[in-house]
Amino acid sequence: MALIKVKTGGVDDTTNLGRRNLTMNGAMQVAQRGTSFAAASSGDYKLDRWRDYIGEGTWTVSQDSDSPDGFDKSLKYLVTSAVGSPNSAVHVTTGIEGLDVQHLQWGTANAKNVTISFWVKGSVTGRYNIEFDMSDTNSATFSQIVSYNINTANTWEYKTVKIIGNTSSALIGTNARGIGLNWWISAAGQFVTGTTDPADGTWSSSGGHDNSVRGYGMGAMVGTTNATWQITGVQMEVGDTATPFEHRPYAEELQLCKRYYQLVESASGMSANTTVAQFNVPFSVEMRSAPTVSISDVNGVTCARITDHAYTDYTVTSGATIVISNVSKYGSRTQIGGFTGLTQGRFVGFLPGGSYSSFMRFDAEL
């Protein structure tokens, strides 16, 4: 059968018109952990799939409704307590599994370039860097640095940058972090002492770029109280051309994010003894790996026991504990201790919503 090549009017026939965006939650809509983080802790995930390094200063990180046309949310960083003599860095990152980027063919002569596009808004104009890192099949890390400018303060601007495919090193092919995109927000001290601009389209040697050039050309936003930086519409796609942002349905984006993090507000099980309740939790999607388990409010865990066809509530008031968690990437049998008055072998239910504030949290992030 002969193949017929169809060219779409106005779109180059080399453009990938299928699933294009390799990043998740680029529109900043999914926020399972919360929507505002005052005095934000470094290293924590804020919005789904986005975490940060905060080297200094006090920041409020939030999901904000201020956004460019076509979007309704952004990720916002606000300096709430400035540093008089900045000496460190702040950046926000998202990671991609090695399993999801094998089609880039890095490590071969056919290595494909990728284009990153996004909307950004900041109160401090000037140069900002994006550090793109990769892990190869030998667990070595390489990086490539590109830059963009915020030209007009407090104005949404559309940016595109290109990453040259790595012909020398192949991407790791597991569920570990294969690629990382790191937006540098503030840089000072050891991160700005280098004299050679690293944004030259080349890959670093093994180990990534030296600290001295990672913030090259940047300023220390952390030195200005109420300074802001916001981002949304993040897309990474194969090729040299940025295409319009791929808006996936919210329900689909949420399910993609649940591979890495899930909240559970209700589960069934039985009491193991008078103080411990055991709950069976099948995950809604297969997680990336066996997750860690925690409780969102250790003083608000409530379970119900059926007695004579009626529910009796038992609430932990002095701090619930995870006793044993038999967890795989498919589900969990989680035992929670700290109750009083349970009867061994009786049905119990982990209660949802309403006045009950606690959730089970399952975390398999990169």
Residues 279-318 pLDDT 10s: 999 999 999 999 999 998 888 888 887 666 667 888 887 8
Domain co-membership, 212 together with 189: yes
Domain co-membership, 307 together with 244: no
Total number of domains constituting the chain:
2
- Asked whether the beta carbons of 241 and 116 are under 8 A apart, the reply is no
Domain co-membership, 266 together with 236: no
Residue 43 belongs to some domain of the structure: yes
Q: What is the pLDDT along the chain (366 residues), one digit of tens a residue?
A: 343 333 334 444 445 466 899 999 999 999 999 999 999 999 999 999 999 999 999 999 999 999 999 999 999 999 999 999 999 999 999 999 999 999 999 999 999 999 999 999 999 999 999 999 999 999 999 999 999 999 999 999 999 999 999 999 999 999 999 999 999 999 999 999 999 999 999 999 999 999 999 999 999 999 999 999 999 999 999 999 999 999 999 999 999 999 999 999 889 999 999 999 999 999 999 999 999 999 988 888 888 876 666 678 888 878 899 988 899 999 999 999 999 888 899 888 887 654 556 889 999 999
Domain co-membership, 275 together with 242: no
Q: Spell out the residues 6+ positions from residue 258 whose beta carbon is closer than 8 angstroms to its own.
A: 283, 284, 285, 287
Domain co-membership, 45 together with 166: yes
Domain of 301, in residue numbers: 261-363
228, 252, 276 - which closes a domain: 252
202, 233, 252 - which closes a domain: 252
Domain co-membership, 246 together with 267: no
Residue 224 belongs to some domain of the structure: yes
Q: What is the CATH number of the domain that holds 144?
A: 2.60.120.260
Domain co-membership, 213 together with 269: no
Domain co-membership, 276 together with 201: no
Domain co-membership, 212 together with 107: yes
Residue 240 belongs to some domain of the structure: yes
215, 233, 252 - which closes a domain: 252
Residue 81 belongs to some domain of the structure: yes
Domain co-membership, 201 together with 323: no
